Amino acid sequence: MDEAVIELKDVHNRFGATVVHEGIDLTVRRGEILAIIGASGSGKSVLLRTMALLHRPTSGQIRLFGCDARRLSGEAERHLRLRLGFMFQNGALFSSLTVFENVRFPLDEHTRLPAFLKRELVMLKIELAGLEAGDAAKYPRQLSGGMVKRAALARTLVLDPEVLFLDEPTSGLDPVTAGAFDALVVELKSLLDLTVVMVTHDLDTLWNATDRVAFLAGHRLVAVAPIRELVHHPHPAVAAYFAARHTRRGGEWKPR
């Protein structure tokens, strides 16, 4: 069954005179990895934030897990937000806290679990994200770019979200580290039964880690399709996008 986890209907976003989205309709299905792509400034991040309830749209309907997000009471909305995890592009780790303290932070904010249980959950998520137990004591400044992403992922996963939002998860990573991060996202999706929505500029991520890709152009979604179909889409903005982009290995994408 293709259960809808997120449904956007006729969503509009505007900042003053700047129109960003005009009539976005999109359904994200449980268990899929969906990427949002488009030219710079086309509104990818605003759309991701709208879906994650971090930005209230100018108009339109958002349903999450079947609930109309506009009609929720404060407590119901808080509960619903805990089912969503958002990983920011730069990781947004607290520089004065260790990896362990960063990952424990949401548990301190949202649970009353005893310290020993928090410790177990934090270490489990740190290892699931592919860090060593010994990395827990390190500060963000002591981590490589790839390790920062993994620590941020561990923190995003610590409350067991059902939907994971990733804003440019491989930006700033070298090709090998980026490939390993893509593989980790795919593995964790299966392992933890996640639905994943991401914004990316990374063509390798699109080919290696997504089920469907939504293309934003001219304030609208002009196509939503698996990448192997999207690359042949006739819309001029889609054709221009793929003509101008290369994979980490250079040239056109070819299966490994």
Ligand X SMILES: Nc1ncnc2c1ncn2[C@@H]1O[C@H](COP(=O)(O)OP(=O)(O)OP(=O)(O)O)[C@@H](O)[C@H]1O
Considering the complex, state which of residue 20 and residue 214 has its C-beta at the smaller distance from ligand X.
Answer: 20
How many amino acids of this chain bind ligand X (CB under 6 A)? 11
Binding to ligand X (CB under 6 A) within 19-48 occurs at: 20, 38, 40-46
Q: Min. distance of Cβ 139 from ligand X in angstroms? A: 28
Binding to ligand X (CB under 6 A) within 118-147 occurs at: none
Q: Min. distance of Cβ 183 from ligand X in angstroms? A: 24
Q: Min. distance of Cβ 40 from ligand X in angstroms? A: 4
Complete DSSP assignment for 118-148: HHHHHHHHHHHTT--GGGGG--GGGS-HHHH
Residues forming beta bridges with residue 62, ordered by sequence position: 8
Choose the binding region for ligand X from 15-23, 66-74, 113-121, 156-164 (rule: CB under 6 A): 15-23
Complete DSSP assignment for 195-212: EEEEE---HHHHHHH-SE
Q: Is 170 in the site for ligand X (CB under 6 A)?
A: no
Of the candidates 210, 208, 214, 209, the one whose C-alpha atom is nearest the C-alpha of residue 241 is: 214
Q: Min. distance of Cβ 96 from ligand X in angstroms? A: 27
Burial class (CB in 10 A: 0-12, 13-18, 19+), 252: exposed
Considering the complex, state which of residue 41 and residue 226 has its C-beta at the smaller distance from ligand X.
Answer: 41
Residue 97 phi, psi dihedral angles, 5° rounding = -110, 150
For residue 188 the two structure tokens come to 């964790």
Q: Min. distance of Cβ 34 from ligand X in angstroms? A: 15
Considering the complex, state which of residue 41 and residue 187 has its C-beta at the smaller distance from ligand X.
Answer: 41
Considering the complex, state which of residue 104 and residue 149 has its C-beta at the smaller distance from ligand X.
Answer: 149
CA distance 52 to 48: 6
Taking a C-beta distance cutoff of 8 angstroms, is the pair 220, 207 a contact?
A: no
Q: Min. distance of Cβ 97 from ligand X in angstroms? A: 27
Considering the complex, state which of residue 6 and residue 20 has its C-beta at the smaller distance from ligand X.
Answer: 20
Considering the complex, state which of residue 21 and residue 81 has its C-beta at the smaller distance from ligand X.
Answer: 21
Considering the complex, state which of residue 100 and residue 242 has its C-beta at the smaller distance from ligand X.
Answer: 242
Cα dihedral value 70, 71, 76, 78, nearest 10: 20
For residue 86 the two structure tokens come to 């958002």
Taking a C-beta distance cutoff of 8 angstroms, is the pair 151, 88 a contact?
A: no
Residues lying near ligand X in the complex (CB under 6 A) are found at 15, 18, 20, 38, 40-46
